[in-house]
Structure formats: structure tokens, C-alpha cells
Structure 1
């Protein structure tokens, strides 16, 4: 009993006692009517135990279940517990043990680990919500994780804080890796970048973000980013890039797309990196399109070809007054479903 006192967590006492009783009752019921209560009923307490018990308590439950099966086999009815029954119970027990081990590493019970992931996913999405803009401005944001997962290495942070809300700052980031592997790093960076954005002068953001990534010392810790600083009254903007694909500017007056490519190294690669911006102006009817490399890169294909394909799809949307443009561009031009994809549209009506 002293071993149980120190090995079994106090919070497990009632659950463990109930599940031990359930295992015992399932064995007795199986002896009474094996047709309605087969020996495989032992998996029910095991499954519940995998959700509510910590590892030492779960192992005690396994030992009790094994004892009940042995008793049914040797004492009451030797033919009741077949080799198939043992294989089924053992296989489910092994799967439950693996899942319980993962939950133990997180330090959570029941499905709280999954709830935490849902909460983190929602927080990452909330970071990518555009602030409310004046009526003459229209924005669209679409983030598509690789393989239909919930987590993406692409994320957006935006703020409208400088000069009394006159200046909009938007940063589109592509973290190395994709899907769930990059999602945890993206979540961490989105919080850090959200704190830096608007707190520093525009030309101070990317250097500060670069220093932050360098301090993390991740084995695969680089990222690309494009930072747009837009004056909502004049339409003047500056695009600053850190190894990111170029932005494209729809010029309504000429009816053409113009690539806006700024020079800058990847984030998290070199110290004291310098980032140069490119200036432009969005007049009435103009639009600025930002995207990540998942939209324009395909294995064995030059990125220029991918950009031409994206612009071809985007040009078709001009006739529809850019209605639902970001989603439609991702759906038609973003063929690389194995990579995270993101599109941001800023348009002046």
C-alpha cells in the first residue's frame, strides 16, 4: 500500500477505484453471459483510463485487467478468452498507453491538450485579422495551411496605430517549414512580431525581427517577410522585404501589374542585416497584392513562371472589381497544396 500511496496521484484515486471496479464487474458479467458481455469488454475501462489516469495509475489498471482475463481463462471458462481476445485487448492497451504517454508529457488530462491546440490555432488566426479601415479601402486575407491542416507557417500581423490611425502597417511572414511543423514557430513569432509592429519606426521592424530570430538559435529558424507601410490618406506606401517574393501593384491607369521587389536578406540568417524599401502610391482603383512562395513555387519550375501564372489569374479578377479576389487566387493559382499559401490584397476604391 505504501507503493500505491507514493506512486498514484491523489487526483487519480477515485477514478482508479471506479475503473478497477468496472474491470471486476465486466469479468463477472462475462462469466454470467459471455454472449452479451464478452471478455473484450475490458477495453472500455482501459480506454477511459487512458483519458483520465496518469501513467502509474494506468499501469495498475492494466495489471488488474490482465488479472481478470487470466482468471476468466483459467478458473471459469478456458475457452472464453481466446488468443484473438488477448491480441485485441493488448493492441488497444498499447495504443492507449502511447496516447497517455503523450498527454503525460504535456501535463494535461482528458482532451485538454487538443483544446490547447485549438486555442493556439484561434490565437494565430486572430493575429491575422486586419484592422478596420476607412470606406475607400478594401482588404482581403486568405491563409491556407499545407495539406488542409489547421496550422500554417504563413501568418499575418497588422496594425493601424501611427499618426492617429492614418498609417497601416502589414507584415506577411513565411516561416521555414510547413504545416504543423512550422505552426508552433509561427505562433511564437506572431506574438513577438505583433508586439514589435507599431512600437518601432517602420525601418526598425525588420532589423528587430531579425535579431529576435537570431537569439532563438533554432536549427531551422529562418523566415521571409514583407512589410508594407501604407498612408491611408495619400495612398503612398513603402514595401520592405526580407527575402520574400515581390509584391505586385495593379495600376488602374495603365491596366497593368507592376512587380515591386525590395532587396533584403532572410530573417534569422545574418547579423546586422540591412533592408531597403521601395516606395509607391496606390491611386483610386489601384491594388497591392502580397503572397508567399507557396503561391508561386512548384518543384522544377522557375519562380518567375509561377508569378506570371498568379498575375494571369489575378488579371481575370479585375473585370469582377476584385470581388473575393484573394480566395479565388489561392484556389486557382496556388497549385502547390503541399506548401502553406497566403494572399493579402490591399485595394483603394
Structure 2
């Protein structure tokens, strides 16, 4: 049967297709996936029963793995139980239960048990595996976007780089930026802890600090960040931070620090780096803390580095020795070429076993 619409000829759906579409449209997405996976399990089970010589018991791995990827925490445990019961029914139907088949059955039941345990842990998140992972990836990408440098006027260059302990995508160090007219605000933050443990706290903190950075005057930012952290019920509830507020028209800057390694300024006339010692308590430890600025002006040719302690910290050595080492390396790597300089520095220095963040600002 054909249907005519707007001068085009299309095939009208059959009664069976319309019924299937209505049925699948009626069911929620999770139950549609569950129905499809149950049908797949029944098909695999039937093939194992009828043609055991060609379809092994290990074919049951396919629906188990797919279910682990797409089913939510409420449907997954029941599906695993049904699949394992199906397997238990099929085993006696095997023509010859050899030791190899027995080991295969044990492995399949062990896999089902592991998937059950993972579903119980996943129930705390409340979403299926792929969707849960996509949520975390989206949050991680938001952190990276918040650290992206906004478009700067001619005569300015800035770049940031992040590296995590062990090379994982989630890190406790991050950068947030905001531009309001001629004012650029940048904060480099180091959350207590390392790797994925600190990364989960950084997911929350980066969103909060990113909002505060663009909404508050520079002198209030670290105080508000400290108040926010004081309200969090974290076992490791502190972070260090350095905040740069830069006037892109005049080059005037103010740097405030919350227990963070000192910023460094390269004066074009001398070609040497010097540290800018702003002082203030770590975020999240002392209620009502205040943060006094170090002020100055960046002139043409000057450059500034903000970084986390993973760039300069070495066990059993004073941190200032690490700062001197980093600045000596920066003097070599940035000589006459600042484009891509942040990446060159972070890849040539700093501990690979610690999270690292680096921001480079240069006035051309």
C-alpha cells in the first residue's frame, strides 16, 4: 500500500510496524532497552539450546555486557538475575558437561556477580553506565572551558595548561577565567588531594568559583570563595588559590593569594623573573579571612606566570628552590617566543605524580 504526500510517494507502514512503533513509544526508554535485551537473551539462549555445537555458553556475555552499558540501576540487577537463571537452565541441556564448560559457567556467574556489585554502586548516581560516564565527561569539559582564555585585545597573549597525576582526565588543579570589559580575572586553584579524588571536589568548586569570579569585584572574590568552602562538609575541605585581576587597557594588576605559591613576573627590561609575594590563608580553614593584594603594572614585553605547587614542589626541599628551578627553565624556554610557552614549561618541569596547572600572560 502506498501513501501520497506533497507530491512524493512513500510506503505506508504495515499494521505490525505501526503496532511495534506504538508499543515502543508507549514504554519509557529504559524499559524499551530492557525489552530489547530480554529478547536478545532469549534469542541467544534458544541458539545455545538448539545449536550448542556452534553457539557456546559464552555467548551470554553479549547481553550481560550490553546491559551493563545501557540499563539503569533499577533494571540492571533484575536483568542479570534473569540472564543467570537462563544460563542455569541451559547448562543441563549441554550434550557433554566437560571441565571446560564447568569453568565457563563459573566465569559467567562471576561476571554476573561483578555486574551486580557495580549496579549497586551505580545506584548512588541513579543513571546508566554510558549516561553516567557522559555526565562526568561533560562536567570535566566544563572545567576545561571555564579555564579557557577569553578573547583578548591586540597586544596581549595568555594561555593555560592542565595536567593531572597519573594522566587521568580529572584533576584537582584548575583554572577559571572571566572578562568584564577591560578587566581580565583569572584564578588558579589547587584543591587538596590528588588525581580523581581531588577531581570530584574540583568539579563542584570550579563551577562555584567560576560564577563568583565574574560576579564579584576583585577584592571580594577570595573572601567569597573562602566562605563557600567553609560551608562544605568535606573531609579535605580546603584549597589554595591565586587570583590575578588585570586591567587590559593600562596593564595595572592586583594579585591576591590564598596559601598559594607566589606568582612570578618577568620584567622585559631585565629579562629576569621575580616572585610576587602576596599572602593570605588557605581557602576553607579560617572563617572571615581577608586577602591583601600585591599591585603593579605590566608593561610591553612583561610576562607573568601563575601555577600550582605540582610545578615546583619536591619532597624534602624548600618550595622556593623549586620556584627558582621553574623560573630558570622558563627563562630558557620563553626566550623570544611566548606562543605555546605554557605547554612547553608544563611538559618540561613539575612532578608527574602531582596535579599541575600553569597560566602564562604576556604583554606584547
Settle same-fold status: TM greater than 0.5. Answer: yes
Cα distance change, pair 253–43 in 1 and its aligned pair in 2 (3 A): same
* Residue 332 of structure 2, aligned match among 316, 319, 323: 316
| Structure 2 counterparts to residues 282-321 of structure 1, below 5 A | 282-321=298-337
Q: How many angstroms apart in 2 are the aligned matches of 1:194 and 1:283?
A: 28
Q: Which moved more, 1:239-248 or 1:72-81?
A: 72-81
1:337 is the counterpart of 2:355: no
Aligned twin of 1:261: 277
Query: Quick check: 2:161–2:343 contact (8 Å CA) kept in 1?
Result: yes
- Count matched residues: 337
For the residue of structure 2 that corresponds to 1:141, the secondary structure is strand
Tell me: CA distance 1:348–1:18, structure 2 relative to 1, closer, same or farther (3 Å).
closer
**Once superposed, what is the RMSD of the aligned Cα atoms?**
2.3
Determine helix, strand or coil for the equivalent of 1:263: coil
Bigger drift between 89-98 and 26-35 goes to: 26-35
Q: Is the 8 A contact 1:178 1:340 kept in 2?
A: yes
Aligned to 1:45: 63
**How far did 1:78 drift?**
4.6
Offset of 1:56 from its aligned partner?
5.9
CA deviation after TM superposition for structure 1 residue 94, in Å: 1.9
Distance 2:211 2:82 in 1: 53
Deviation string, structure 1 residues 273-301 (Cα, Å, up to 9, x no partner): 12111112211111111110000012222
2: distance between equivalents of 1:57 and 1:170? 45
Instruction: Pick the aligned partner of 2:182 from 156, 166, 169.
Output: 166
Cα deviation digits, residues 44-66 of structure 1 (max 9, x gap): 22223333445564444444444
Q: Would you say the 8 A contact 2:71–2:128 is kept in 1?
A: yes
- Give 1:148's aligned residue: 167
> Which segment drifts farther, 54-63 or 238-247?
54-63
Q: Do the aligned residues in 2 keep the contact of 1:50 with 1:97 (CA within 8 Å)? A: no
Q: 8 Å contact 2:49–2:93 — kept in the other structure?
A: no
| Residue 142 (structure 2) pairs with residue 127 (structure 1) | no
How far apart are the structure 2 equivalents of 1:178 and 1:134? 36
**Matched residue, 2:260:** 244
In the alignment, structure 1 residue 193 sits paired with structure 2 residue 209: yes
SS at match of 1:221: coil
Give the drift of 1:77: 2.5
| Helix, strand or coil at the partner of 1:112 | helix
- Mapped to 2, the partners of 1:337 and 1:50 lie a distance apart of 33
> Aligned pair in 2 of structure 1 residues 14, 278: CA closer, same or farther (>3 Å)?
closer
Q: Structure 1 stretches of 5 or more lacking a match? A: 1-8
In 2, distance between residues paired with 1:291 and 1:339? 13
CA distance in 1, matches of 2:243, 2:360: 13
Instruction: Report the TM-score when normalising by structure 2.
Output: 0.85
Normalising by structure 1, we get a TM-score of 0.89
Q: 1:229 aligns with which of 226, 231, 245?
A: 245
Contact kept? 1:23, 1:64, Cα under 8 Å:
no
Quote the residue 2:113 is aligned against: 94
Seen in structure 2, the aligned counterparts of structure 1 residues 14 and 169 have a Cα distance that, compared at 3 Å, is closer
